[in-house]
Structure 1
Amino acid sequence: MEIDPELARTVVAVAETGTLDAAARRLHVTPSAVSQRVRALETQIGRPVLHRTRPVELTEAGEAVVRFARQLDQLAADLRAELAPEPTGPLPLTIVVNADSLHTWALRPLVGVSDRVALEVLREDEAHSLALLRRGVAVGAVTTDPTAVPGCSVERLGVMRYLAVCAPDYARRWFADGVDATSLALAPLVAFDRKDDLQARCLRRLTRAAVEPPVHHVPASAEFAEAIRLGMGWGMVPEIECGAEVRAGDLVHVHERAVVDVPLYWQQWRRSSALLREVGDALRDGARVLRLSGTPAAARA
């Protein structure tokens, strides 16, 4: 099937601006011309690419067309850079990384490619990260989902282990008589945000009961861990971040079974550019700090 790049880029403009009128202004054509291009593409592929809502929404076919257009633009940018007689500077790439990975291990390997790639790193939860891949907003994502998005490849990175930890003074106050359903129902905990269920999973593992302790929400990785260090509550912190503090006694591991293992995967466009492959290689190399195996759970955004 031959897809006219101009028609595909018109769908991208409609998706990004939300209406045919706004897309027409961006493309410097009339709304009628935009509508004709969209209809021509739909005729070409034999299915609709847009839901005519306000703002418009992409169909699955529309998402595929947008990925195609953005992949084409990425490959064209790579070719221009390769053929240019002088260095053209870093080329833009948008990827998605969950907050804890970005805070603990993913940023360092990305620094190694930052002179060649102008990165936009989006911090999103695993479900939304895949939606961004499907719509073509991002070219790659660190995710907990091993099922490849259409048009993408997927590779396992490793396992992020989380430990339930708290400050020593907090442990003496709330867990002096042990860690059980009674103490855990009273002891405040710290969650990243309302989508963060790592603490709830740990509670079910420890108590086999429905307990609802007081919850503080601190939606930033560094501040989340700092809130725990200051005694605001207990919470799940990546082992690669808190392991040394636990061994030194600066933090207390709440219980030997208070562990949650989260598998991480790297998904990227299958028709990738050389720069995207370089970013993927850097992340896979940086992920060597992760564990090789563990018990699956859901990741924090």
Structure 2
Amino acid sequence: MPRPIWSGAISFGLVTIPIKVVPATENHNISFRQVHLEDMGRVRYRKVCELDGKQLSDNEIVKGYEVAKDQLVAVTDEDLAEIPLPTAKAIEIVAFVPAGSIDPVRIGDSYYLEGDGQVAAKPYKLLRQALERSSKVAVAKFALRGRERLGLLRVKGDALVLHSMHWPDEIRSPASLAPPAVEIEDSEVDGAIALMDAMGEEDISHYTDHYREALEELIAAKAQGKQPAPVAEAQEPGGQVVDLMAALNASVAQARESRGEGEHATVHEMPKPKKTAKKAAKKTPAKKTAAKKTAAGSTAGSTAKKATPKKTADRRKPRAS
């Protein structure tokens, strides 16, 4: 487990729970350095003042805020430290809400909360069991890395987890992104649900980052002076779907086949969208015409069959003489 990045307490009414904050996730991205291709020398960035051209050290640099064009106000670390921040050393629970009421778009980084010492054991367990029994989550305010944040406190196994959340005014509205109004048949929705059932899983822990794995193989090959193995080209995404029901049926069959159900899988054809009265009326005369053609064809076929024995008899007469 990584080292704690913050320590303080959970403020739960008049109850205080000493805790340590530990990152719940880790980054497995592969990092690159910029180099000069000709001689593989490192490319470095230097902090230089644009007025006098002097290279500066970190202790000579402070934050600046542009209040007007070409007018900056310097803000030092001491200035920031003196700003009153009630949540500087406490995760202050401000409300309890149903778990399903939190929009996942608002959730950011995740942290495990570790009880700090024996004194934290009982109130820590009390809060965890209360959250479990009520099926609620806690909304809290806390300070981390120089700013106050909104957080979501929930239970994971035997531990408490803190998710940082975006403030309400930080979430953009998706209203302008909605597609134009279209009509969807119930049979199409049923087909989509059938596909969801065919693709359903209880455990997704087997999924891995194929891009990172391929990148590691590329780096290993180049480090040994070898050419990386050729990579198969990705298939181009399909064009516009003309028959949505056919695409859903094919997707269900493909999903079941990929899960090893194979021939034992029974893919029931999904009901086609209901036809309107106008369409049905237009197609009725066509069926009658087809029936007449079939009847005429059957009569012609019967006449041909009756004529066949006569032709055969006529051919056999010369052989008999």
TM-score (norm. length: structure 1): 0.18
- Structure number with greater CO (CA < 8 Å, separation at least 6) is 1
TM-score (norm. length: structure 2): 0.17
The structure carrying a bigger helix percent of its residues is: 1
Larger gyration radius, structure 1 or structure 2: 2
